[in-house]
């Protein structure tokens, strides 16, 4: 008997085999309902933890504010840093919230999400840090098993990379807040908590970016839980950092073990003729006794040293503080300080150019060394003046002015004293160049046919990349010269009549843009240079 041979498969058997392979693949990709329900339970648990942490954080912020209100000088610095911490934590938290909502909208459909949000279902209502309520649509997801939309939003559309950078920014912020050198157990904890580098999950994924490992092939339900977990980490890190900053309030307290003398001047720079004033104090002074203060051999009443300045330059003085020690013996602590006396002067700078333009609002920044701007008074001749506050002034020369003088006065010991003056030449605003602009390219000579006929082409004025000015000019009209035929255009774009004529032109033809009128920032209409465009 001869050996048996394999029978060839019939077409029906081949079809059944192929259907079996497809079914096996579908079962492999399918995520069981039990697993998805588990994700939902974990997400609810994380939200409960977040709610508890946010409630605790709100109380800590309240305690911090109370400490600042009680002792602003001691606690305000750390309270302000605490507010910056809350701002940074809220920023990342809400970015992730919007990230989750975008994925759910792709999985369930925007219309279904909007209906869910409008329903105000108590099961999905959450409380924002400001106490307001909002509907968290990520707490009820229909398309939990969707394997496509997470990768689509996070990887294909590039939002996962943005999230990675946002997490890195927050991580570096809190680590630097803990220790500028990034050292210590707390910094290492945050480094692990918000790790986004390759191989972040300790698997063999050194060549895999964080967003790929995080979201590729991930069901919506699973990605939602992972993102909620990061939100919980944000609130926990915020809670840790609030406590860390509260400890800083007392960290700066000094334990005094010696006595020192200090000189506290109101200002170390004094204008000649003004009064120099300084307070001399003894650190950690005993409140049961009043020390004696001496400067250059003379006793100072209540520790205040004052004199009318005469010369200029650096002036030094010496003295001592005398008090009784614990054993009753007199203790003397020497001190030395200095101050600078300068000639009256003012610093005046034109933030536009070193000249003033006629009938135009010129910006001037005016200050006097050692003087606050609220004590300055400015006068001009040949122009009008407007105070913009904080040392900024607007000077507008008159139409006929050829020169403007600016004088600066300061209140010194109750009287106005001239600090300095400056004369400026007055000129008319320079004319800008004009271009036929198409996209990012400006033409003044050779131009392609397509560019010349571009419906978005228009006349643009500019002082050029090397210009000292950047002022708004608007082309209000111009004339088009085609083969000696002139047509006038209102505005800065070709009309249909001009476009029809240009369409008939051939290579080498020239189109003249002449009699160009533009309105400048001073409101005047000015004629600009002509343009001759040659079609190449």
Residue 194 burial (C-beta neighbours within 10 Å; 0-12, 13-18, 19+) = buried
For the chain, the domains span 30-251, 261-342, 347-427, 433-535
CATH-assigned architecture of domain 433-535: Sandwich (2.60)
Q: What is the pLDDT of residues 301-336, one digit of tens each?
A: 877 888 887 777 778 889 998 877 655 678 888 988
- At residue 129, the pLDDT reads 73
Average pLDDT over residues 382-403: 92
pLDDT category, 5, cuts 50, 70, 90?
very low
Q: What's the CATH class of domain 347-427? A: mainly beta
For 261-342, which CATH superfamily applies?
Immunoglobulins (2.60.40.10)
The answer to whether 395 and 362 are in contact (CB under 8 A) is yes
Fold matches, 261-342 and 347-427? yes
What pLDDT, on the 0 to 100 scale, is given for residue 22?
46
Number of helices followed by number of strands (H, E) in the chain: 11, 27
Which one, of 492, 489, 490, 486, lies nearest residue 456 by Cα?
Answer: 492
pLDDT above 70 for 455:
yes
Does position 400 have pLDDT exceeding 80, yes or no?
yes
Please give the angle made by the CA atoms of 432, 438 and 443, to the nearest 5 degrees: 50
Smallest CA-to-CA distance from 211 within 150, 250, 164 is with 164
Determine the pLDDT at residue 131.
Answer: 74
pLDDT at residue 378 greater than cutoff 90? yes
- Report the pLDDT value the prediction gives residue 251, as an integer from 0 to 100: 53
Residue 316 tokens, joined: 């030094």
- 183-242, pLDDT tens digit by residue? 999 999 999 999 998 865 544 445 688 999 889 988 998 899 999 999 999 999 999 999
Q: Is the predicted pLDDT of residue 25 greater than 70, yes or no? A: no
Share of the chain above pLDDT 90, in %: 38
pLDDT score, position 417: 86
pLDDT of residue 18 exceeding 60: no
* HSE, side-chain direction, 13 A CA sphere, residue 315: 20
With a cut of 50, say whether residue 182 has pLDDT above it. yes
**Parallel/antiparallel/unpaired status of strands 356-357 and 313-324:** unpaired
Please name which of 507, 488, 506 lies closest in space to residue 498, comparing C-alpha atoms: 488
pLDDT tens, 278-289?
777 666 655 556
For the segment 231-277, what is each residue's pLDDT rounded down to a tens digit? 999 999 999 999 999 888 865 443 344 566 666 666 655 666 667 77
Q: Are 82 and 265 in contact (CB under 8 A)?
A: no
């Amino acid at each position: 008997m001869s050996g048996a041979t394999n029978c060839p498969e019939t077409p029906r058997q081949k079809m059944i085999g192929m259907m079996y392979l497809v079914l096996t693949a579908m079962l492999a990709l399918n995520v069981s309902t039990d697993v998805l329900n588990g994700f939902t339970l974990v997400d609810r648990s994380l939200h409960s933890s977040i709610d508890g942490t946010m409630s605790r954080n709100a109380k800590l912020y309240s305690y911090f504010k109370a400490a600042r209100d009680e002792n602003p000088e001691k606690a305000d610095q750390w309270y302000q840093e605490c507010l910056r911490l809350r701002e940074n934590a809220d920023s990342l938290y809400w970015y992730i919230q919007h990230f989750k909502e975008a994925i759910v909208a792709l999985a369930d459909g925007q219309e279904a999400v909007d209906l869910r949000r409008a329903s105000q279902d108590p099961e999905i209502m959450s409380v924002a840090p400001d106490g307001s309520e909002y509907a968290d649509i990520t707490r009820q997801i229909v398309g939990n098993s969707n394997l496509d939309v997470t990768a689509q939003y996070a990887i294909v559309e590039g939002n996962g990379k943005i999230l990675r950078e946002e997490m890195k920014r927050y991580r570096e912020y809190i680590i630097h807040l803990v220790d500028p050198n990034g050292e210590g157990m707390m910094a290492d904890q945050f480094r692990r908590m918000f790790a986004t580098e390759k191989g972040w999950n300790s698997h063999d994924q050194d060549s895999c970016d964080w967003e790929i490992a995080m979201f590729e092939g991930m069901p919506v339900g699973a990605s939602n839980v992972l993102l909620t977990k990061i939100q919980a980490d944000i609130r926990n890190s915020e809670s840790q950092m609030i406590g860390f900053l509260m400890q800083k309030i007392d960290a700066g307290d000094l334990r005094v073990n010696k006595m020192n003398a200090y000189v506290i001047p109101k200002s170390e720079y004094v204008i000649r003729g003004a009064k120099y004033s300084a307070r001399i104090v003894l650190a950690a002074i005993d409140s049961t006794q009043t020390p004696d203060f001496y400067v250059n051999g003379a006793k100072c009443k209540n520790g205040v040293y004052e004199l009318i300045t005469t010369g200029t330059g650096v002036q030094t003085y010496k003295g001592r503080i005398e008090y009784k020690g614990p054993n009753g013996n007199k203790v003397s602590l020497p001190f030395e300080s200095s101050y600078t006396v300068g000639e009256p002067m003012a610093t005046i700078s034109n933030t536009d150019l070193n000249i003033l333009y006629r009938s135009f609002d010129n910006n001037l920044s005016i200050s006097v060394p050692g003087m606050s701007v609220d004590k300055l008074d400015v006068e001009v001749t040949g122009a009008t003046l407007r105070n913009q506050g904080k040392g900024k002034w607007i000077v507008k020369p008159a139409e006929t002015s050829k020169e403007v003088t600016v004088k600066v006065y300061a209140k010194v010991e109750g009287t106005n004293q001239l600090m300095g003056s400056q004369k400026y030449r007055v000129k008319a605003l320079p004319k800008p160049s004009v271009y036929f602009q198409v996209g990012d390219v400006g033409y003044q000579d050779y131009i392609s046919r397509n560019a010349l006929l571009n419906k978005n082409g228009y006349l643009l004025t500019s002082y050029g990349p090397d210009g000292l000015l950047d002022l708004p000019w608007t082309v209000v009209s111009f004339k088009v010269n085609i083969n000696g035929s002139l047509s006038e255009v209102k505005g800065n774009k070709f009309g249909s009549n001009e476009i029809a004529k240009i369409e008939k032109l051939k290579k080498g033809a020239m189109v003249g843009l002449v009699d160009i009128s533009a309105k400048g920032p001073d409101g005047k209409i000015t004629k600009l240079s002509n343009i001759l465009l040659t079609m190449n």
